[in-house]
A and B are shown apart, each in its own frame.
Chain A
Amino acid sequence: MKFIDEYRGAPEAQQFLRAIERLVTRPWTLMEICGGQTHTLVKSGLDRLLPPAVRLVHGPGCPVCVTPLELIDRALALAARPEVLFTSFGDMLRVPGSTTDLLSVKAAGGDVRIVYSPLDAVKLAQKYPEREVVFFAVGFETTAPANAMAVYYAKQLGLTNFSILCAHVLVPPAMVALLSAPATQIQGFLAAGHVCAIMGYHEYLPIAAQYRVPIVVTGFEPLDLLQGIYMTIAQLERGTWSVENQYARAVTLAGNQHAQRLMAEVFAVRDRQWRGIGLIPQSGLGLREPFAAYDAEVKFQVSAITAPESPLCIAGLIMQGRARPSDCTAFGTRCTPEQPLGAPMVSSEGACAAYYQYGRGADFSLPLAALPQQDATNLPER
């Protein structure tokens, strides 16, 4: 087993689809949290093969998309400084700030570099002691341990020319915010498998019980998603709301304790703005006091920059499951991957990018046989 191709078989997918069809007696609305799952659903055509009674809405699980505009503008201000070597994951580069993006700053002479891992940014700081290396630390719980290690490691090495622009967000508080919104339509969640690989899924037990929603921890391949959908609907049809784990090959109830320990040592929980959604209490991470010297906002005094959101983009509604990308009047016309108005059009996990890339809105569906065989080729960029 290689744990990829096995979960892409068309006959098994058909079996799951038939089973879901047999199971459904009325309409249900489920939300997949993670943008990676949105992409699998749309790319494999599963969103069109599911019975019409099963409605999937796309969640806020695209960290690039929820990073507030003012943080992007701070990143742009930092990247433009002559002493700064600015490092970032690839899909942050095209995200529009209020006037420009990182790629344009790079084209204008800013030293902006894409890294695969935050440790690569630390290595750059070692290699160029005369430069100030700043890493744009964007991500959910999945990425936080890696970024925590980068800071911890830089401190162990005694580096003084490394810092991070911290934009970390947490999933469970966002789920609570979505569920407590007055007109919420979400009846069940597919929880993000890799977030749970780090955090486990005990945090979801009180959420499922309080809001009476089934939550199924789900993986990222087509068969994972189909099984997650089957398990969630089986609960809805039965009238139960427990937390189940579809992705047990990578997720345990307690999660990865080694990662949680370093995350807790380096980061503290803070209130955080989500782009398009607003402030969600206790939903972000900031650096703890012993690591304050590694906080780029403090080091370079950029925290005063604030910016308003564009009124055209409905990304906030999409990420709350209240609209789909095809509902946006700018979709595919004024907003395209070449001329994006919002982050979800350019992030590799953005719902608008998935709809655009795989022709949702146009009239064709991808057969399951067209699933790609190997994902490892995507590796160097991310």
Chain B
Amino acid sequence: MCLGIPGKVLAIEPNALAMPMGKVSFGGIVKEICLAYTPEAQVGDYVVVHVGFAISIVDEAEARKVFAYLREMEELADLELEQPE
């Protein structure tokens, strides 16, 4: 139910009742998505989409941190192995 899938904003177009809608691509599958909750979203941004609504804009810098964390963790482990107690 809480499934959220990241997709890329291709276009933004307000509808008749001024509700911002957008075209969002999920690996090539394009869907009409409500952007009312992410009014800051720009074309080219990735948004997390749940039941037809963008619920957050993916922060690209934060997105890379998992891998930085992994590197730090490994370096720390190497350090620990090198220093006998």
Interface 1/0 per residue, A107-123 and B, CB below 8 Å: 00000000011111000
Count of residues in A whose CB is under 8 Å from the partner chain: 66
Which single residue of chain A is at the shortest CB-CB distance from B65?
A: A248
Grouping DSSP codes into helix (H, G, I), strand (E, B) and loop, the B interface class, with mixed when no group exceeds half, is mixed
Q: A249-B62, A376-B27 in contact; A63/B1 too (CB < 8 A)?
A: yes
Q: A1-B63, A194-B2, A349-B1 in contact; A256/B55 too (CB < 8 A)?
A: yes
Q: Is B22 an interface residue (CB 8 A)?
A: no
Q: Is B70 an interface residue (CB 8 A)?
A: yes
A192 & B2 in contact (Cβ 8 Å cutoff)? yes
A19 & B73 in contact (Cβ 8 Å cutoff)? yes
Measured between beta carbons, the chain A residues less than 8 angstroms from B34 are 117, 119, 146, 149
A residues 95-140 in Cβ contact with B at 8 Å: 116-120, 138-140
Count of residues in B whose CB is under 8 Å from the partner chain: 41
B59 & A249 in contact (Cβ 8 Å cutoff)? yes
Determine which of A7, A62, A118, A378 lies in contact with B51 in the assembled complex, contact meaning CB atoms within 8 Å.
A118
Interface 1/0 per residue, B41-85 and A, CB below 8 Å: 000001010111101101110111111011001100100000000
Q: A63-B1, A91-B1, A375-B5 in contact; A249/B52 too (CB < 8 A)?
A: no
Q: Is A235 an interface residue (CB 8 A)?
A: no
Q: Is A220 an interface residue (CB 8 A)?
A: yes
A259 & B55 in contact (Cβ 8 Å cutoff)? yes
Residue numbers of A with Cβ under 8 A of B are 1-4, 6-7, 12, 15-16, 19, 22, 34-36, 61-64, 89, 91, 116-120, 138-140, 142-143, 145-146, 149, 153, 156-157, 192-195, 197-198, 220, 223-224, 227, 230, 246, 248-251, 256, 258-259, 262, 347-349, 374-379, 382
